[in-house]
Amino acid sequence: MSNATDTPIQSVSASTSFPEGFRIVHKRRFMAEGNTKYMLPSDDEELNRLDYQHYVIRHLIYGNFKAPLDSELEKGIRVIDVGCGSGIWVMEMAVDYPRSTFVGVDCAAVFPTKDIPPNCTFIRGNTLEGLPFKDESFDFVFQRLMILAFTPSDWRFATRELARITAPDGFVELIEGDFFVQSAPAAYAPLYNAIVGTAASRGIDLSVLHDLPSVLSDAGLVDVKADYVSSPLGWHGRVGDICNKSMKNLFVALKPSIRPVISKTDEEYDVMAEQIIDEMKEKKSWSKIPCAIGRKPRMG
């Protein structure tokens, strides 16, 4: 591991300008450049949803990460969040570990531009066009919730990019969300099928969630470990309530992309979503949040 104060992060090219290309779909703003396959909006409402989802995941995994790096972060290492979105993970980590250096990168410049910790930087960059950093720039590379953005070939390219910018003995961590709900109500089936079908029409295969260890191993990482945490939907006390609210927020965010597939009006979609949320509580439904961690080996 290298010390963050000794080795500065080097950016090959970086742009902090706000992206010009957006399109409006059913009153929500989506990217019209960069990774346009992405199924979720890129607007203020979505940033609020992402922040809430962040707190839910942090509660479920008992922190902001799973990689065995707490002591290294305390001493000072170089960290990047790839696909940082609102930037909340980067900002929190920068405050928690002031001796480490943090970078957030996303293809849409929706991250913060003020009140940023001094050990924190945000830049625009598209993983699928090559991340704007030199090889072995970071000791900890973090990525989460990209399942609605990548095709199988995108995953292969993206994880190789993550591995490329990881320093020897550094870690790559992936955290995702699974749309398959255990003990799901019958009303969820058409919505789930619409999510899977819409994703497939864009070349996105949601089943990659079940193969995250191979994704990391194929990128050259070793000591790969995978696990998941359970997300109770509407039951099991307060945690179930916040998880169910996060799921409801996700249904709202997905509406512009999947509503046409199930041929429902806005009002009909909203009624269906409310019914699903209520029945998940009754059925004691739950979903998985898969995570995987791999280490970059030293060569020679």
DSSP per residue, 80-91 = EEET-TT-HHHH
Residues 6 or more apart whose CB falls under 8 angstroms from that of 114 comprise: none
Q: Which amino acid is at 70?
A: D
Instruction: Return the higher-pLDDT residue of 14 and 298.
Output: 298
241 is a domain residue: yes
Cα–Cα distance for residue pair 109/65, rounded to 1 Å: 24
- Nearest CA-CA partner of 97 in 5, 160, 216: 5
DSSP state of 172: E
11 is a domain residue: no
The CB density around residue 232, as the number of other CB atoms within 10 Å, is 21
Strand partners, 30: 23
Cα–Cα distance for residue pair 244/248, rounded to 1 Å: 6
3 is a domain residue: no
Strand partners, 104: 81, 122
Cα–Cα distance for residue pair 20/37, rounded to 1 Å: 17
Cα–Cα distance for residue pair 38/36, rounded to 1 Å: 5
Reported as a single tens digit per residue, the pLDDT across 251-267 is: 999 999 999 899 899 99
Q: Does the pLDDT value for residue 41 go beyond 80? A: yes
Cα–Cα distance for residue pair 107/154, rounded to 1 Å: 15
Region 45-54: what's the mean pLDDT? 95
6 is a domain residue: no
Average pLDDT over all residues of the chain: 91
14 is a domain residue: no
Residues 133 and 29: beta-carbon distance below 8 Å: no
At residue 85, the pLDDT reads 93
Strand partners, 292: 174, 226
Residues 6 or more apart whose CB falls under 8 angstroms from that of 56 comprise: 231, 242, 243, 246
Residues 155 and 215: beta-carbon distance below 8 Å: yes
Q: Does the pLDDT value for residue 31 go beyond 60? A: yes
Domain count, the chain: 1
Helix (H, G, I), strand (E, B) or coil at 134: coil
- Nearest CA-CA partner of 66 in 228, 180, 212: 228
Q: Which range has the worst mean pLDDT, 14-23, 154-163, 199-208?
A: 14-23
> How far is C-alpha 98 from the chain's CA centre?
23
CATH number at residue 145: 3.40.50.150
Reported as a single tens digit per residue, the pLDDT across 218-239 is: 999 999 999 999 999 999 999 9
Q: Does the pLDDT value for residue 12 go beyond 50? A: no
At residue 160, the pLDDT reads 98
- Nearest CA-CA partner of 138 in 204, 90, 206, 209: 90
Reported as a single tens digit per residue, the pLDDT across 60-109 is: 999 999 999 999 999 999 999 999 999 999 999 999 999 999 999 998 88
At residue 109, the pLDDT reads 83
At residue 1, the pLDDT reads 58
Q: Does the pLDDT value for residue 4 go beyond 80? A: no
Q: Does the pLDDT value for residue 135 go beyond 90? A: yes
- Nearest CA-CA partner of 219 in 137, 157, 291, 135: 157
Radius of gyration, CA atoms only, the chain? 19
Cα–Cα distance for residue pair 167/145, rounded to 1 Å: 23
Cα–Cα distance for residue pair 120/181, rounded to 1 Å: 36
At residue 22, the pLDDT reads 58
At residue 37, the pLDDT reads 87
Residue 113: burial class (beta carbons within 10 Å; 0-12, 13-18, 19+): exposed
52 is a domain residue: yes
Strand partners, 120: 102
Question: CA triplet 191, 155, 222: central angle to 5 degrees?
Answer: 125
Domain range for 128 is 22-296
260 is a domain residue: yes
Helix (H, G, I), strand (E, B) or coil at 266: helix
pLDDT-based confidence at residue 138 (cuts at 50, 70, 90): very high
Q: Does the pLDDT value for residue 210 go beyond 80? A: yes
Q: Does the pLDDT value for residue 195 go beyond 60? A: yes
Instruction: Return the higher-pLDDT residue of 39 and 144.
Output: 144
